[in-house]
């Protein structure tokens, strides 16, 4: 993390309880060192025990990761960064539209049979990431399931979480796999319009479809993090936290990037 990125990130970090007078033991390592260590792990796909000696001990880094995962602090930090990125782009902090899609990923041998399955459409034995992004391609919500879970069944749960967290969300684009009763359910339950973007039967070859390319670009960003190329997490909550950490790396770079000068 560069000095410019740390200057942007530091005010957005959740404040520990001991600094608020709530008791507890002060942390022994600087947050910048811990964030760099987790970012290194996510970006390079190493094992926890293979943490380089330049960083704090791996067990202390993992304890920090686990605490932020279990107390939803990584989501809080991620959402603050997303609001800053949207405001820098001239948008409101809260989105009104989004895009939903899923991605099937092969699972490592450490993934148990209770959280893995076989996706017959993609011929993938592993897990599936269901994500909702805004019109800038920034993450609004993620849910990791076994690969045999249908898109409509997972979207019903994920859209409920996203709609509860983002009250201004009115429209979500999706592909043909989300057709059926889910459209009426979203409108009646969440007051959310689920617009299906279908591919024309006359089109041949690769064609960029409106709005759907936004979520595909988000998946491409996630694949830049080697830790996410294959699912190696024992728990689905850890897999979801890794997605949030990967997106924080992307957003901190965007925030630290100098604004282009206007003529």
User: Could you tell me the pTM of the whole model?
Assistant: 0.92
Give the whole-angstrom CA distance, residue 83 versus residue 95.
Answer: 9
Is the per-residue pLDDT at 262 higher than 70? no
Largest CA distance in the chain: 65
Cα 107 from chain centre: 18
- With b for 16 or more beta-carbon neighbours within 10 A and e for fewer, the 44-77 pattern comes to eeeeeeebeeebbebebbbebbeebbeeebbbeb
Q: Is 159 helix (H, G, I), strand (E, B) or coil?
A: helix
Q: What is the reported pLDDT for 211?
A: 87
What pLDDT band is residue 176 in, cutting at 50, 70 and 90?
Answer: confident
Is the per-residue pLDDT at 23 higher than 70? no
Structure tokens at 159: 């859209």
Q: What is the reported pLDDT for 263?
A: 47
**pLDDT one-digit tens code per residue, 180-204:** 899 999 999 999 999 998 876 666 6
Length of the chain, in residues: 263
Structure tokens at 200: 């024309």
**pLDDT one-digit tens code per residue, 223-250:** 999 999 999 999 999 999 999 999 999 9
Give the whole-angstrom CA distance, residue 226 versus residue 214.
Answer: 21
Q: What is the reported pLDDT for 20?
A: 65
Bridge partners for 139 per DSSP = 133
- Mean residue pLDDT of the chain comes to 91
């Amino acid at each position: 993390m560069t000095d410019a990125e740390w200057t942007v990130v530091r005010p957005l970090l959740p404040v520990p309880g001991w600094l608020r007078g709530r008791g507890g033991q002060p942390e022994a390592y600087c947050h910048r060192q811990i964030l760099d260590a987790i970012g290194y792990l996510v970006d390079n796909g190493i094992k926890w025990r293979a943490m380089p000696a330049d960083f704090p001990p791996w067990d202390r880094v993992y304890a920090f990761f686990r605490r932020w995962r279990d107390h939803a602090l990584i989501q809080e930090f991620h959402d603050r960064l997303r609001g800053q990125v949207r405001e820098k782009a001239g948008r409101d902090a809260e989105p009104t539209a989004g895009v939903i899609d899923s991605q099937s990923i092969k699972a490592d041998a450490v993934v148990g049979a209770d959280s893995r399955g076989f996706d017959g459409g993609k011929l993938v034995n592993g897990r599936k990431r269901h994500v909702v992004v805004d019109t800038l391609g920034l993450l609004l919500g993620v849910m990791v399931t076994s690969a045999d879970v249908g898109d409509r069944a997972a979207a019903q749960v994920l859209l409920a979480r996203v709609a509860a967290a983002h009250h201004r969300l009115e429209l979500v684009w999706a592909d043909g796999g989300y057709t059926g009763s889910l459209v009426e359910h979203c409108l009646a339950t969440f007051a959310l319009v689920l617009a299906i973007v279908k591919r024309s039967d006359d089109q041949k070859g690769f064609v960029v479809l409106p709005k759907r390319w936004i979520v595909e670009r988000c998946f491409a960003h996630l694949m830049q993090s080697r830790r996410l190329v294959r699912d190696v997490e024992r728990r689905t909550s850890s897999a979801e936290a890794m997605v949030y950490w990967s997106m924080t790396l992307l957003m901190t770079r965007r925030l630290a990037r100098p604004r282009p000068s206007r003529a």
